């Protein structure tokens, strides 16, 4: 893993860590165990961890290109920084709480090689208990599909199709989707760089949907590949209850995505109703998270 490869087909890996000491070792071990691919630069940008994440990486993975940031740069900026450390044909944006199967990268690259129009691909994601993380494949959100998703309706098989569309059920067997999950995205580097990488106005959350949208605007496909899978712990850094800053980042990202890509299709009154709805959801989510953290701290959970 210490040799940097620029050959066609090689893949660089960009990982952003924050309080990831518990999981980063298994993640990097799974990257090292990848078969059938040429690994280029494996770069980690750490966002001001205080739990010993950097020490774990430095001691057990000395060949990893580690950048220690004194401040939390957020996901987009840190991933772009990690990506800039390599120059291989493919780039894997990977969360530190994801563990690859040995053949994951090989299968994803083979799919992208079979169709040169594919710019981004992702695979099945499963939670540690073996259940499927349905967010591995998604449609671009609409107000109705987003509302259905957050209300828990989108996972019901009998729900109307328009209310289930956010999780892209039609793509369960593989194929073109609007978006895959930013926890694991294999990307053609040239196209990624042509677009300027992840939009750094998204500090955290929604940047994966935004990137897939911008690829789609240029007729570059995003593909879901169910033939392989990876384990995603999900929320390993933020915990079950998001801190206020992350909660705001999530909801402000929703507003930005809507404003950037969907607002022009509607009148201003409709748009302001959407923004107000997101702000109300943020208020309830922030309150619920705060109450959850208090309950957890006093031993009642």
DSSP collapsed to 3 states, 11-68: EEEEEEECCCCCCHHHHHHHHHCCCCCCEEEEEEEEECCCCCHHHHHHHHCCCCEEEE
- Give the Cα-Cα-Cα angle 219, 220, 225 (nearest 5 degrees): 135
Q: Residue 97: exposed, middle, or buried by beta-carbon count in 10 A (0-12, 13-18, 19+)? A: buried
Check pLDDT > 60 for residue 298. no
Where do we find the tokens 């760089």? 193
Q: Angle between the 268-297 and 143-150 helix axes, to the nearest 10 degrees?
A: 20
- pLDDT higher than threshold 50 for residue 2: no
Taking alpha carbons only, the member of 99, 174, 180 closest to residue 136 is 180
What confidence category does residue 156 fall into, taking pLDDT thresholds of 50, 70 and 90? Answer: low
β-bridge partners, 121:
186, 223
Rounded distance between C-alpha atoms, residue 121 and residue 222, angstroms: 6
Residue carrying the six token digits 């691919």? 37
Q: What percent of the chain has pLDDT over 70?
A: 83
Select the highest-mean-pLDDT range: 62-66, 204-208, 247-251, 263-267.
62-66
Q: Coil, strand or helix: which one is 90?
A: strand
Cα gap 148→166, rounded to integer Å = 8
Query: Which pLDDT value is given to residue 9?
Result: 60
pLDDT at 1: 40
Q: Which of 222-226, 261-265, 290-294 has the highest mean pLDDT?
A: 222-226
pLDDT value of residue 7:
44
pTM, two decimals, is: 0.86
As a whole number of angstroms, the distance between CA 258 and CA 275 comes to 9
Dihedrals φ, ψ of 252, to 5°?
-65, -30
User: Is the confidence at residue 162, as pLDDT, over 90?
Assistant: no
Backbone torsion region of residue 137, taken as left when φ is above 0, otherwise alpha when ψ lies between -120 and 50, otherwise beta: beta
Distances (CA, A) of 141 to 51, 137, 162, 175, 209: 35, 12, 11, 18, 9
Mean pLDDT of 272-280: 90
Q: How many CB atoms lie within 10 A of CB 176?
A: 14
227 vs 205: CA distance, rounded Å:
26
Q: How crowded is residue 299: how many other Cβ atoms within 10 Å of its Cβ?
A: 6
Encode pLDDT of 121-153 as tens digits. 999 999 999 998 888 998 888 777 766 666 666
């Amino acid at each position: 893993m210490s040799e940097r490869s620029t050959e066609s087909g090689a893949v660089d890996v960009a990982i952003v860590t924050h309080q990831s000491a518990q999981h980063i070792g298994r993640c990097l071990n799974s990257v090292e165990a990848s078969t059938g691919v040429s690994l280029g630069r494996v770069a980690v940008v750490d966002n001001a961890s205080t739990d010993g994440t950097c020490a774990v990486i430095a001691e057990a993975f000395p060949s990893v290109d580690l950048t220690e940031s004194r401040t939390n740069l957020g996901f987009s900026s840190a991933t772009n920084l990690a990506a800039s450390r390599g120059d291989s044909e493919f780039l894997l944006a990977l969360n530190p709480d994801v563990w690859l199967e040995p053949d994951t990268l090989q299968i994803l690259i083979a799919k992208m090689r079979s169709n040169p129009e594919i710019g981004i691909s992702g695979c099945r994601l499963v939670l540690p208990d073996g259940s499927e993380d349905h967010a591995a494949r998604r449609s671009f959100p609409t107000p109705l599909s987003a509302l259905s998703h957050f209300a828990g309706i989108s996972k019901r098989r009998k729900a109307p199709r328009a209310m289930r569309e956010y999780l892209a059920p039609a793509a369960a067997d593989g194929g073109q989707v609007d978006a895959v999950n930013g926890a694991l995205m294999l990307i053609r580097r040239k196209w990624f760089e042509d677009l300027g990488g992840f939009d750094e106005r998204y500090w955290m959350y929604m940047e994966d949907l935004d990137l897939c949208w911008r690829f789609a605007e240029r007729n570059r496909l995003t593909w879901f590949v169910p033939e392989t899978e990876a384990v995603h712990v999900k929320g390993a850094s933020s915990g079950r209850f998001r801190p206020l800053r992350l909660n705001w980042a999530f909801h402000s990202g929703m507003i930005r995505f809507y404003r950037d890509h969907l607002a022009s299709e509607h009148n201003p009154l409709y748009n302001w109703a959407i923004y107000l709805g997101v702000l109300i959801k943020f208020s309830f989510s922030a309150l619920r998270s705060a109450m959850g953290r208090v309950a957890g701290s006093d031993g009642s959970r």
